[in-house]
Amino acid sequence: MRRNSRSARRSESRSTKLDPVAVAMRKVLRELGEDPGREGLARTPERVANSLRFLTRGYHQDVNKVLNDAFFHVAYDEMVIVKDIEVFSLCEHHLLPFFGRCHVAYIPNKRVIGLSKIPRLVDVFARRLQVQERLTNQIAATIMEMIAPQGVGVVIEARHLCMVMRGVEKQNSVAVTSAMLGVFRAKEQTRAEFLRLIRERA
């Protein structure tokens, strides 16, 4: 039995020696009181490493490349809204998921951004270790910088597993954050129109 255990540990070490995240995960499993060599957990460190890299791939994405110059000159100065964008991210405090919906609006100033690029932009920042407040601000600030619209509004509604599964353990709590720039901050009517439109269900 001991030989098998030693053999399993040697095999684990060889399989993870090139992946420091997987190596660290094996140590975490041992600290939690588990045997990372047992059948159900033998490949878990590698799976967790791959999962974490996928969930934080935004660190390695260039916003300019993601948007790919999808900016167009259009004689349009009414509000553009992309709502109900699915958001999945990891809370930087507990590494637990938070997820929900993101609503983005802007009023163009001679230029618009390709509609499909807005969800991609949201993902670039969501796929990092985040706090919801910063994520909201990053999306708004980037759109403001990229196309210099008259204003940008971003609202995120999300459930945080660090509140649902631990801590206060409130199953139905939703965190709502907003970032209002330009005319969305300066004009109450513009802001109110945005908030009304995102509440309307199709």
pLDDT at 13 over 80: no
Look at residue 14 in the predicted model and tell me its pLDDT. Answer: 55
Active-site residue, from 91, 103, 130, 138:
91
List of residues 6+ apart from 73 with CB closer than 8 A: 110, 111
Is residue 92 among the annotated active site residues? yes
102 an active-site residue?
Answer: no
- Please name each of the domains of the chain with its CATH number: 2-55 (1.10.286), 64-199 (3.30.1130.10)
Residue in the block written with tokens 């600030």: 141
Q: Is 130 a catalytic residue?
A: no
When pLDDT is cut at 50, 70 and 90, the band that residue 18 belongs to is: confident
Identify whether 61 is a catalytic site residue.
no
Active site residue 133: no
Point out the least confidently predicted range of 12-16, 39-43, 58-62: 12-16
So what's the pLDDT on residue 1? 47
User: With 80 as the cut, is the pLDDT of residue 130 above it?
Assistant: yes
Question: Of the listed 130, 132, 138, 150, which one is catalytic?
Answer: 132
Q: What is d(CA 178, CA 132) in angstroms, rounded to the nearest whole number? A: 9
Query: pLDDT value at position 15?
Result: 52
Cα–chain-centroid distance for residue 196? 25
Query: Has residue 158 got a pLDDT over 80?
Result: yes
- Whether the CB-CB separation of 82 and 161 falls below 8 Å is answered with no
pLDDT for the residue 169: 65
94 is catalytic: yes
pTM for this entry: 0.88
Task: Give pLDDT, residue 168.
Answer: 66
Pairing of strands 111-113, 175-182: unpaired
| CA angle 44–46–51, rounded 5-degree value | 90
Q: Which pLDDT band, with edges at 50, 70 and 90, does 11 fall under?
A: low
